[in-house]
C-alpha cells in the first residue's frame, strides 16, 4: 500500500483516497465486473483509511518504526493487498445470499441475517458491520430496508446489489458516528462557546476521514453561525408568542424570560450543528468519489481507445506480412 503515505493521509486525505482507489485497489481486484470495481475500491479504501487514521491517533506511529524495525504501515499494506480480492468475493456472496433470503417469503430474514453475520468475517478494510456500536440487529434492519427498496425498483442484478450494499455500509458507519457524538453533546456547554466546543468536543472526536483540520474548523464556524441563526429565530418566535399571550406587544423582555425559553429546549445547538457538519461532510464525500469515478472512466476509455489503435496497427502489420508473403509466378512465353 505504498500510495498511503502517513503524512499525506493527515494533510491531504482526498488525494490518498484517489491514489488508493485507482492505483492500488483497482488493479488488484480483476475478478469483478468493471462497473462494480470503482465502488468496491472507493469504499474499501475509505475504510482502510479510517482504520489507519484511528491507529495513528491511538498509537502515534507517524514516521515511527515498530519494535522489530518494520514500518507499522507494512502490516496494513500486506493484509490489504494480499487478501482484498478474496475478502470482497466473500462479502458479495454473503450480501447476495441475504438478498435471496429477503425475497423468500418462507424464510425468517432477521434470524437468517443475524446467523449469517455471526459467521462472517468483519475485515478492517471491508467490514460487513462497520462500527462497534452497530448491532447485528441494526445491520440486518439496514439490509432489510435496502433490499425492500431494491425490490420496489425491480433491481435484482448482483452488480447493482453489490454497489448499494457498499454504499449502505459506509453510510451506516457515518450514522453511527453521528448518533454517538450527539449522545455525548451538551447543549448548554455548546451554546456558551459554539466554535470552540465544536472543534474540541465534536469534530475533534470524529473520524471524518477526508477532512483535514482546516476543513473541520471551517465546518464548525459555519455550523455555529447557522445554529445561532436557527436558535435566535426559534427564540424570537417563542418570545413573541409569550408576549402575545400576555396581551402586550410593548412589554419589555427581561433576561429571565429569555432563559426560560432556552430552558424549554426551543433551541437545539447540538442537533443543529452536528446535522450541518455531517450533511456537509457527506456532500464532500460524494463529490470526491464522483471525481474518482470520472478519473477511472477516463483511464478506461483511454485503454479502450489504445486497444483499438493497437488492433488497427496489428491488422495493418498482418496485411503487410500477408502481402510480403505473396509470390509472383514467372510468366512463360505464350
Per-residue pLDDT tens for 62-89? 555 555 666 667 888 889 999 999 999 9
The answer to whether position 138 is within a domain reads no
- The dihedrals phi and psi of 38, each to the nearest 5 degrees, come to -60, -40
The answer to whether position 202 is within a domain reads yes
Q: CA–CA separation, 227 vs 273, rounded Å?
A: 6
**pLDDT value of residue 199:** 94
- Position 219 pLDDT exceeds 70: yes
The answer to whether position 308 is within a domain reads no
DSSP secondary structure code for residue 84 in this structure:
H
pLDDT tier, 321 (very low <50, low <70, confident <90, very high otherwise) = low
- Position 102 pLDDT exceeds 60: yes
Q: How far apart are the first and last CA of the chain?
A: 77
Contact by Cβ (8 Å): 282, 174: yes
Q: Which cell is 92 given? A: 458479495
The answer to whether position 142 is within a domain reads no
The answer to whether position 63 is within a domain reads no
pTM: 0.80
Q: What percent of the chain has pLDDT over 90?
A: 57
Residue span of the structural domain in which 263 resides: 186-294
Task: Please compute the mean of the pLDDT values over residues 174-197 and round it to a whole number.
Answer: 93
- Position 25 pLDDT exceeds 80: yes
The answer to whether position 6 is within a domain reads no
The answer to whether position 289 is within a domain reads yes
**pLDDT value of residue 328:** 46
User: How many distinct structural domains can be found in the chain?
Assistant: 1
Q: CA–CA separation, 254 vs 257, rounded Å?
A: 5
Average pLDDT over the chain, rounded to an integer: 83
Give, in order, the Cα–Cα distances in Å from 287 to each of 12, 41, 175, 282: 16, 16, 19, 9
Amino acid at each position: 500500500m505504498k500510495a498511503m503515505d502517513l503524512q499525506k493521509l493527515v494533510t491531504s486525505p482526498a488525494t490518498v483516497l484517489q491514489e488508493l482507489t485507482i492505483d492500488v485497489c483497482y488493479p488488484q481486484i480483476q475478478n469483478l465486473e468493471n462497473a462494480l470495481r470503482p465502488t468496491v475500491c472507493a469504499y474499501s479504501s475509505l475504510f482502510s483509511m479510517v482504520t489507519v487514521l484511528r491507529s495513528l491517533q491511538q498509537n502515534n506511529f507517524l514516521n515511527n518504526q515498530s519494535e522489530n524495525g518494520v514500518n507499522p504501515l507494512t502490516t496494513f499494506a500486506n493484509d490489504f493487498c494480499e487478501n482484498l480480492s478474496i475478502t470482497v468475493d466473500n462479502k458479495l456472496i454473503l450480501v447476495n445470499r441475504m438478498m435471496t433470503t429477503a425475497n423468500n417469503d418462507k424464510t425468517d430474514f432477521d434470524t437468517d441475517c443475524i446467523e449469517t453475520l455471526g459467521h462472517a468475517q468483519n475485515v478492517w478494510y471491508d467490514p460487513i458491520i462497520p462500527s462497534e456500536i452497530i448491532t447485528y440487529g441494526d445491520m440486518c434492519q439496514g439490509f432489510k430496508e435496502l433490499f425492500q427498496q431494491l425490490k420496489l425498483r425491480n433491481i435484482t442484478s448482483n452488480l447493482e446489489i453489490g454497489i448499494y450494499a457498499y454504499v449502505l455500509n459506509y453510510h451506516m458507519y457515518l450514522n453511527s458516528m453521528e448518533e454517538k457524538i450527539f449522545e455525548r453533546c451538551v447543549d448548554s456547554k455548546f451554546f456558551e462557546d459554539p466554535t470552540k466546543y465544536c472543534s474540541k468536543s465534536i469534530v475533534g472526536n470524529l473520524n471524518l476521514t477526508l477532512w483535514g483540520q482546516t476543513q473541520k474548523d471551517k465546518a464548525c464556524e459555519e455550523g455555529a453561525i447557522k445554529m445561532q441563526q436557527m436558535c435566535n429565530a426559534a427564540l424570537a418566535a417563542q418570545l413573541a408568542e409569550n408576549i402575545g399571550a400576555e396581551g402586550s406587544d410593548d412589554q419589555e423582555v427581561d433576561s429571565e424570560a429569555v432563559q426560560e425559553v432556552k430552558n424549554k429546549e426551543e433551541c437545539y445547538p447540538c442537533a443543529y450543528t452536528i446535522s450541518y457538519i455531517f450533511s456537509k461532510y457527506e456532500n464532500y464525500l460524494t463529490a470526491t468519489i464522483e471525481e474518482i469515478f470520472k478519473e477511472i472512466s477516463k483511464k478506461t476509455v483511454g485503454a479502450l481507445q489504445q486497444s483499438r489503435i493497437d488492433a488497427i496497427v496489428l491488422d495493418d502489420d498482418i496485411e503487410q506480412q500477408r502481402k510480403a508473403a505473396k509470390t509472383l509466378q514467372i510468366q512463360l512465353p505464350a
